[in-house]
């Protein structure tokens, strides 16, 4: 009798594991489990405080396939999420002690400034304007701005083609600013890139603009509806990990971890489990900007 129950139980465990796997696959990739370090840190540092609290709050995107997308099981998956898990593990914090908070493009600086999150890892371009308010570790990836168009539209191949036309992008993002200021497009603002997809499908806008890797995730989901206007990108978007502006010790420590991830294959494995399902070439870790 007992063995029957045990067998049933293990069958159940196997079934729920298979379900978890397929659910996370829906969310845009699989996941890795970085080993949790038995770390100890100098008193007074953010590392020590987080390690002692055994809890970290990380802001990420919840609707961007490949980098940060909340799966049906409620957990976000993607390359940004993997970077967060790997950093938490180095702080001695296991994955189930990470609180994931949705940060959209516009609220990333304020969430860091207000202490609502310890870190933001959310396709977050490092730039001087943002450095006035927050600090960035990294970059850990370099994307570039591109255009998403309807599959049957061959009239747009470069940013100059959207001058004077309606383009959807996200408030508080660098691509919204670039397409308006440099290419004189009429920006139709949205809170998230997902909210731009219906207006594009309905032809209320001629394109959606943001980073190539975000758009590649949407093309992967709906290859019959959308395509990238071109494989070329027209800006550089180095992704950083946002944190409190004055916390240089924490920033330096995160930079050390990123360099470590490139050496010990954590970086490669994180890529292959997530964005690498669609973007096959494993990127090199860019040179860390230790400003």
CB of 70 vs ligand GLU, minimal distance in Å = 15
Decide whether 91 or 137 has the Cβ nearer to ligand GLU: 137
Q: How far is the CB of 108 from ligand GLU (least distance, A)?
A: 8
Q: Which is nearer to ligand GLU, 27 or 59 (CB)?
A: 59
Q: Which is nearer to ligand GLU, 56 or 196 (CB)?
A: 196
Closest approach, Cβ 119 to ligand GLU, in A, equals: 15
The torsion angles phi and psi of 286, rounded to 5 degrees, stand at: -65, 165
Residue nearer to ligand GLU on the CB measure, 58 or 91: 58
The CB-of-104 to ligand GLU minimum distance in angstroms stands at 8
Asked, as a colleague might, if the bond just before 139 is cis with ω within 30 of 0, I would say: yes
Instruction: From 49, 138, 67, select the one nearest 103 (Cα to Cα).
Output: 67
Instruction: Look up residue 184 and give its two tokens.
Output: 């004189």
For residue 113, the SS3 value is: helix
Angle, alpha carbons 56-60-61 (nearest 5°):
160
Structure-token pair, residue 291 = 């400003």
What are the residues whose beta carbons fall under 8 Å from the beta carbon of 186, sequence distance 6 or more? 164, 165, 166, 167, 180
State both tokens at 56: 């970290």
Q: Are 210 and 66 in contact (CB under 8 A)?
A: no
Give the position of tokens 């989901």.
221
For ligand GLU, which is the closer residue by CB, 118 or 237? Answer: 237
Provide, rounded to whole angstroms, the least separation between the CB of residue 192 and ligand GLU. 9
Contact residues: ligand GLU, CB under 6 A: 105, 122-125, 170, 173-175, 210-211, 214, 237
Residue 106 CB, nearest approach to ligand GLU (Å):
9
Q: Return d(Cα 207, Cα 114) in angstroms, integer.
A: 34
**Sequence-ordered strand ranges (E) for 144-185:** 145-150, 166-170
Q: Which is nearer to ligand GLU, 124 or 261 (CB)?
A: 124
């Amino acid at each position: 009798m007992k063995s029957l129950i045990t067998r049933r139980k293990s069958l159940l465990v196997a079934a729920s594991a298979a379900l978890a796997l397929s659910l996370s696959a829906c969310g845009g990739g699989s996941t890795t489990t970085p080993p949790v370090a038995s770390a100890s840190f100098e008193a007074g540092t953010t590392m020590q405080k987080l390690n002692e609290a055994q809890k970290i709050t990380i802001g990420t995107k919840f609707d961007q396939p490949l980098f940060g997308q909340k799966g049906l099981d409620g957990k976000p998956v993607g390359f940004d999420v993997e970077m967060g898990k790997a950093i938490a593990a180095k702080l001695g914090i296991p994955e189930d002690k990470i609180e994931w908070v949705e940060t959209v493009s516009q609220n990333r600086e304020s969430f860091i400034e207000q202490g609502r999150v310890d870190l933001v890892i959310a396709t977050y371009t490092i730039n001087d304007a943002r450095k006035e308010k927050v600090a960035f570790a990294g970059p850990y990836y370099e994307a570039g701005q591109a255009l998403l168009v309807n599959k049957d539209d061959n009239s747009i191949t470069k940013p100059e083609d959207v001058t004077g036309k309606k383009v959807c992008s996200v408030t508080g993002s660098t691509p919204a600013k670039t397409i308006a200021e440099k290419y004189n497009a009429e920006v139709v603002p949205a809170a998230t890139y997902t909210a731009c997809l219906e207006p594009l499908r309905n032809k209320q806008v001629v394109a959606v603009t943001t980073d190539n890797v975000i758009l590649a995730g949407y093309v992967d989901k709906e290859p019959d509806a959308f395509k990238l206007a071109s494989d070329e990108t027209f800006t550089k978007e180095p992704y950083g990990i946002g944190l409190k502006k004055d916390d240089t010790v924490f920033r330096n420590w995160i930079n050390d971890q990123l360099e470590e991830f490139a050496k010990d294959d954590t970086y490669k494995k994180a890529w292959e489990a997530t964005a690498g399902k669609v973007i096959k070439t494993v990127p090199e870790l860019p040179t860390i900007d230790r400003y």
